[in-house]
């Protein structure tokens, strides 16, 4: 739609395009056609004026309960089998025609299964005109007296209109009439069939109200079809090709040297207002309903139809009949169209007859019919998909891309759903049982389409000229004609031939002027007398004509003077009006300034009031906080006094308790020291026995002394007694242990163990170290040792070496039998208790007189040898630390 912009003409500047947030849902109507035969099974029942109900036919499979499911669908209105074409037009298409005349776009299409009555609803039959002929008739009945001359409006091939003056339009008409007619196809030579000439009864004619009488209108129509997803112009005059003659053997042409050229497909383009249109499509200007319907019928003859199993004349393409209404305001005189392209408003109404959806299994289509059916179903499926995505975007707030470009049908009508306008759909259904499943799909699509909303069209801007210009101009012409007629002037609008005949009738008749006798003296005098009378009458008429011309001239001069004075008066009034407008504008500016100042002051007062409230609230809060702090301070002081009195009592009690505890600890320490002295004495005795025995063994001539194992006191171990015998407490130094020999050990140390970094560390040679149980490592070794750590009762980390033997099982695997548990404890060498013990031990040793550091190291070595009978030894890290007994 072309929007007006500011120009040189004296009109009000158009406002900016408003943002239209108002939306209306797509109006969906349902029409039920009668059954073809009375004995046919019916599956549709009209419940009310807005609801229908579908019954499953007898041959359809029932549900689980053995009953047939009945579904109801609601529409804006339902038209039964007795609905006339006029009633359907009044409810569905008439509001769209009224909007078209008022400059708003509209889209109306019929949808349904093949054979459901879509083409009848759109076109009609003799005496029962459909929506299309009734829409054309209503348009011309409404704008008939206000139509512009032909070629005043001219398409610019970019979906817009240009305006020509009367002279250019006249030259264009003469040029069009002088051009030789283009050869037409045989079908285009036929005019409308006589039976279709009167499709609408005069009693059923409609007319729109509120037509702008100060505008001129022109109607342009175009007719296209979408066949196999290609667009063809049905109004295009396809010429014959004169370059392809057919010759026989004798060198003479077989027939006329012409050949039919098939039509070319068109492409879609987008204009400057983002509206889609068919580029290169024929747009014909029509001036009456008969001429418009003749153009429609000429294109209808070219439309592709075929005989199928479901319909004798089935439409094999989607047809689109586009009605464009161009309107522009008259100039200030109300005589000619305003020569401003920006003031031209173009609105269009698209009447679409969609091809019917069908199943190829029912139509038994083959070849080209099968391809046509596939393209029809594909385009209708794309239409359903676009409606589904639109509905989802509007209801769920998503922003999915609508696939308009997947089909020419949806791409052509993209601006109707994304832009503004009214969209109406007539769902045609056939109540016979064979179409039940297809009808169900149509009903679901129609129900979903009703939930899509389209932006409501906005009203076009009004021209700044005063209303009633056409009536004033017509009244002026009638008054001028009346005055000329009163003064004997020519009657306005009378053809020159009639005026001449009237003048000749007013003259006296001529007598017979034939002279047969030479002595005839009467014929010539009578002729001369008649001619003289005619000459006098001519002079009188000339004088009368001159008087009338002078009178007309004076009257025109007087009118010109009045017109000039009126123009001067209007100019003065306009100047005064401009001054008043300036004063009003200045007053408005002053009022706006004062309003802004008042708003600013009110805003400042609000800010100050809010600030005062905040300060008062802060003051109250601070006062409350001060009072609460004073109360808390008083409570703390009283609590402090109570605590002082309480602590004095506690100090006295604690002093007494610590005195008793010190006495108890002194007694316990004395007992512990006595036990240590006893242990040291025992160790000294064992060391002396070992030294004595080793000296005796070194003598070569002395026989080997039998072992006195039963008389020895075994070295104390910190582990619990092992269920397996541990062997002799002391072994010869030259003998190697099994771990150092050929036996291999599995040293299992979990990754969670803590490194103690003590002086004496367990060391296993020829061992495979693992952090998790490994059957592969067990298969290679004979011994197994697991290092386990836990916290002892005194808070130190206690390490246990759990040892065992690996042997094979009958199933081919490995098993471990644990034989011993060795417990290692760690003592902290730093701390007052340890230092006290060390000092006490040294004092005790000094008292004994025979306990030295060398003897201490020897005692530790004896303990290590005594515990190494199962394999692992110890690695020395720096100065040795004494182990717990």
Q: What is the mean pLDDT of residues 878-883?
A: 40
If pLDDT is split at 50, 70 and 90, which confidence band does 629 have?
Answer: very high
Q: What is the mean pLDDT of residues 472-477?
A: 78
pLDDT at 84 over 60: yes
* 146 in Cβ contact with 217 (< 8 Å): yes
Q: What is the pLDDT of residue 362?
A: 53
Instruction: Return d(Cα 428, Cα 536) in angstroms, integer.
Output: 80
> Residues near 191 by Cβ (< 8 Å), separated by ≥ 6?
294, 297
* Poorest-pLDDT segment among 130-144, 401-415, 694-708, 792-806: 694-708
Domain ranges in the chain are 28-455, 745-876
Q: What is the pLDDT of residue 282?
A: 93
* 131 in Cβ contact with 93 (< 8 Å): yes
pTM (predicted TM-score): 0.53
Q: How would you label 551-568 residue by residue, b for 16+ Cβ within 10 Å and e otherwise?
A: eeeeeeeeeeeeeeeeee
Q: What is the mean pLDDT of residues 774-798?
A: 82
Q: What is the pLDDT of residue 421?
A: 83
Which tokens hold the place of 59?
Answer: 């041959």
If pLDDT is split at 50, 70 and 90, which confidence band does 370 have?
Answer: low
Give which of 530, 480, 492 is closest to 508, Cα–Cα: 530
Three-state secondary structure of 424-485: EEEEEECCEHHHHHHHHHHHHHHHHHCCCEEECCCCCCCCCCCCCHHHHHHHHHHHHHHHHH
Task: For domain 745-876, say whether CATH 3.30.1240.10 is its number.
Answer: no
Question: Which residue matches tokens 């548990």?
Answer: 821
% of the chain beyond a pLDDT of 90: 24
End-to-end CA distance of the chain: 108
Supply the DSSP symbol for 405: G
Q: What is the pLDDT of residue 411?
A: 92
Which tokens hold the place of 517?
Answer: 């006798």
Higher pLDDT, 563 or 885: 563
The helix/strand/coil state of 655 is helix
Query: Widest CA span of the chain, in angstroms?
Result: 218
* 511 in Cβ contact with 526 (< 8 Å): yes
Strand segments (E) across 739-796: 745-748, 760-763, 767-770, 783-791
Q: What is the mean pLDDT of residues 427-449?
A: 88
Q: What is the pLDDT of residue 755?
A: 78
Alpha-carbon 45 to chain mean position: 38
Instruction: Return d(Cα 420, Cα 415) in angstroms, integer.
Output: 7
Which tokens hold the place of 236?
Answer: 């295009």
Higher pLDDT, 203 or 236: 236
β pairing state of 783-791 and 797-808? antiparallel
Instruction: Return d(Cα 103, Cα 495) in angstroms, integer.
Output: 38
* Poorest-pLDDT segment among 245-259, 370-384, 760-774, 780-794: 245-259
Instruction: Return d(Cα 557, Cα 272) in angstroms, integer.
Output: 49
Q: What is the pLDDT of residue 619?
A: 94
* 217 in Cβ contact with 148 (< 8 Å): yes
Tally the C-alpha atoms within 13 A of residue 324's C-alpha that lie toward its C-beta.
22
Give which of 7, 348, 297 is closest to 129, Cα–Cα: 297
Q: What is the pLDDT of residue 880?
A: 40
Domain pair 28-455 / 745-876, same fold: no
* 761 in Cβ contact with 877 (< 8 Å): yes
Q: What is the mean pLDDT of residues 435-463?
A: 84
Q: What is the mean pLDDT of residues 785-803?
A: 82
> Residues near 563 by Cβ (< 8 Å), separated by ≥ 6?
none
* Poorest-pLDDT segment among 27-41, 56-70, 490-504, 511-525: 490-504
Most confident of 35-44, 636-645, 771-780: 636-645
Q: Which fold has domain 28-455?
A: Kinesin (3.40.850)
If pLDDT is split at 50, 70 and 90, which confidence band does 638 have?
Answer: very high
> Residues near 126 by Cβ (< 8 Å), separated by ≥ 6?
195, 196, 198, 199
Q: What is the pLDDT of residue 715?
A: 37
Instruction: Return d(Cα 736, Cα 416) in angstroms, integer.
Output: 102
Q: pLDDT (tens digit, 9 = 90+) per residue, 547-575?
A: 878 887 888 888 888 888 888 898 899 88
Torsion over CA of 666, 671, 676 and 677, rounded to 10 degrees? Answer: 100
Q: What is the mean pLDDT of residues 105-125?
A: 90
Q: pLDDT (tens digit, 9 = 90+) per residue, 732-771?
A: 333 334 444 567 888 888 888 887 777 777 778 778 888 8
Give which of 69, 85, 72 is closest to 44, Cα–Cα: 72
* Poorest-pLDDT segment among 177-191, 213-227, 728-742, 786-800: 728-742
pLDDT at 246 over 60: no
Q: Is the dihedral of CA 85, 86, 91, 92 positive or negative?
A: positive
Instruction: Return d(Cα 277, Cα 163) in angstroms, integer.
Output: 20
* 804 in Cβ contact with 816 (< 8 Å): yes
pLDDT at 701 over 60: no
If pLDDT is split at 50, 70 and 90, which confidence band does 26 have?
Answer: very high
If pLDDT is split at 50, 70 and 90, which confidence band does 257 have?
Answer: very low
pLDDT at 461 over 80: no
The residue count of the chain comes to 885
Q: What is the pLDDT of residue 97?
A: 95
The helix/strand/coil state of 314 is strand
Q: What is the pLDDT of residue 492?
A: 45
Q: pLDDT (tens digit, 9 = 90+) per residue, 478-518?
A: 777 777 677 655 544 444 444 444 555 556 666 776 777 77
Q: What is the pLDDT of residue 718?
A: 37
Question: Which residue matches tokens 């009237």?
Answer: 502
pLDDT at 721 over 60: no
Q: pLDDT (tens digit, 9 = 90+) per residue, 807-819?
A: 888 777 888 888 8
Q: What is the pLDDT of residue 349?
A: 95
Q: What is the mean pLDDT of residues 241-265?
A: 51
* 212 in Cβ contact with 224 (< 8 Å): no
């Amino acid at each position: 739609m072309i929007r007006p912009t500011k120009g040189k003409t004296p009109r009000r500047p158009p406002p900016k395009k408003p943002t239209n947030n108002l939306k209306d849902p797509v109006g969906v109507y349902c029409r039920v056609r009668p059954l073809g035969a009375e004995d046919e099974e019916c599956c549709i029942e009209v419940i009310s004026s807005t609801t229908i109900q579908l019954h499953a036919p007898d041959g359809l499979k029932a549900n689980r309960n053995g009953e047939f499911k009945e579904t109801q669908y609601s529409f804006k209105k339902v038209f039964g089998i007795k609905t006339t074409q006029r009633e359907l037009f009044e409810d569905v298409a008439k509001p769209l025609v009224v909007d078209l005349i008022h400059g708003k776009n509209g889209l109306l299409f019929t949808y349904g299964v093949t054979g459901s009555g879509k083409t009848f609803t759109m076109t009609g039959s003799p005496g029962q005109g459909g929506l299309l002929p009734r829409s054309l008739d209503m348009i011309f009945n409404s704008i008939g007296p206000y139509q512009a001359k032909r070629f005043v409006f001219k398409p610019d091939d970019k979906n817009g209109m240009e305006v020509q003056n009367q002279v250019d339009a006249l030259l264009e008409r003469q040029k069009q009439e002088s051009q030789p007619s283009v050869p037409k196809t045989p079908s285009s030579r036929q005019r409308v069939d006589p039976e279709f000439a009167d499709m609408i009864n005069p009693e059923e004619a409609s007319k729109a109200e509120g037509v702008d009488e100060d505008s001129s209108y022109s109607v342009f129509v175009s007719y296209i079809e979408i066949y196999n997803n290609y667009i063809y112009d049905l109004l295009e005059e396809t010429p014959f090709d004169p370059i392809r003659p057919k010759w026989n053997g004798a060198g003479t042409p077989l027939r006329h040297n012409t050949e039919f050229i098939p039509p070319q497909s068109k492409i879609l383009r987008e204009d400057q207002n983002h509206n889609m249109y068919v580029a290169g499509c024929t747009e014909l200007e029509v001036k009456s309903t008969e001429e418009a319907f003749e153009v429609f019928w000429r294109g209808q003859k070219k439309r592709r139809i075929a005989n199928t199993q479901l319909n004798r004349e089935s439409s094999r393409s989607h047809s689109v009949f586009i009605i464009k209404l161009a309107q522009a305001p008259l100039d200030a005189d109300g005589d000619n169209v305003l020569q401003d392209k920006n003031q031209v408003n173009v609105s269009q109404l698209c009447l679409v007859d969609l091809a019917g959806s069908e199943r190829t299994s029912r139509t038994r289509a083959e070849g080209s019919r099968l391809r046509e059916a596939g393209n029809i179903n594909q385009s209708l499926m794309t239409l359903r998909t676009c409606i589904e995505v639109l509905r989802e975007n509007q209801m769920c707030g998503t922003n999915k891309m609508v696939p308009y470009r997947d089909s020419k049908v949806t791409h052509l009508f993209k601006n109707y759903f994304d832009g503004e306008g009214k969209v109406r759909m007539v769902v045609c259904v056939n109540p016979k049982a064979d179409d039940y499943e297809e009808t169900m799909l149509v009903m679901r699509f129609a129900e979903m389409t009703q939930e899509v909303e389209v932006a409501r069209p906005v009203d076009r801007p009004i021209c700044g000229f005063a209303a009633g210009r056409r009536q004033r101009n017509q009244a002026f012409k009638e008054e001028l004609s009346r005055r000329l007629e009163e003064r004997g002037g020519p009657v306005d609008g009378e053809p020159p031939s009639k005026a001449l005949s009237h003048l000749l009738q007013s003259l006296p008749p001529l007598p017979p002027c034939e002279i047969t006798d030479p002595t005839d003296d009467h014929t010539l005098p009578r002729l001369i007398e008649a001619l003289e009378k005619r000459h006098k009458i001519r002079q009188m008429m000339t004088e009368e004509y001159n008087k009338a011309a002078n009178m007309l001239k004076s009257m025109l001069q007087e009118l010109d003077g009045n017109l000039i004075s009126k123009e001067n008066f209007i100019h003065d009034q306009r100047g005064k009006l401009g001054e008043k407008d300036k004063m009003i504008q200045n007053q408005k500016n002053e009022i706006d300034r004062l309003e802004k100042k008042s708003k600013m002051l009110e805003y400042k007062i609000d800010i100050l009031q809010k600030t005062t409230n905040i300060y008062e609230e802060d003051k109250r809060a601070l006062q409350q906080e001060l009072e609460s702090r004073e109360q808390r301070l008083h409570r703390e002081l009283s609590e402090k006094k109570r605590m002082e009195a309480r602590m004095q009592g506690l100090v006295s009690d604690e002093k007494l308790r610590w005195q008793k505890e010190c006495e108890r600890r002194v007694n316990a320490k004395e007992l512990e020291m006595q036990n240590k002295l006893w242990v040291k004495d025992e160790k000294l005795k064992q060391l002396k026995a070992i030294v004595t025995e080793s000296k005796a063994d070194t003598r070569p001539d002395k026989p080997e002394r039998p072992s006195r194992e039963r008389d020895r006191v075994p070295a104390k171990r910190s582990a619990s007694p092992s269920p397996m015998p541990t062997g002799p407490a002391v072994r010869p130094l030259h003998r190697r242990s099994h771990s150092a020999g050929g036996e291999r050990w599995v040293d299992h140390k979990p990754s969670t163990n803590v490194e103690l970094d003590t002086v004496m560390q367990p060391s296993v040679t020829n061992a495979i170290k693992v952090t998790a149980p490994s059957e592969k490592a067990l298969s290679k070794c004979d011994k197994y040792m697991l290092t386990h750590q836990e916290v002892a009762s005194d808070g130190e980390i206690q390490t246990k070496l759990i040892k065992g033997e690996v042997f094979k099982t009958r199933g081919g695997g490995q098993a471990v039998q644990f034989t011993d548990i060795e417990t290692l404890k760690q003592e902290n060498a730093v701390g007052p208790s340890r230092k006290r013990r060390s000092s006490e031990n040294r004092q005790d040793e000094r008292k004994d007189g025979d306990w030295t550091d060398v003897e201490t190291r020897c005692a530790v070595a004896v303990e290590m040898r005594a515990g190494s009978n199962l394999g692992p030894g110890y690695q020395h890290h720096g100065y040795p630390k004494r182990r717990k007994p």
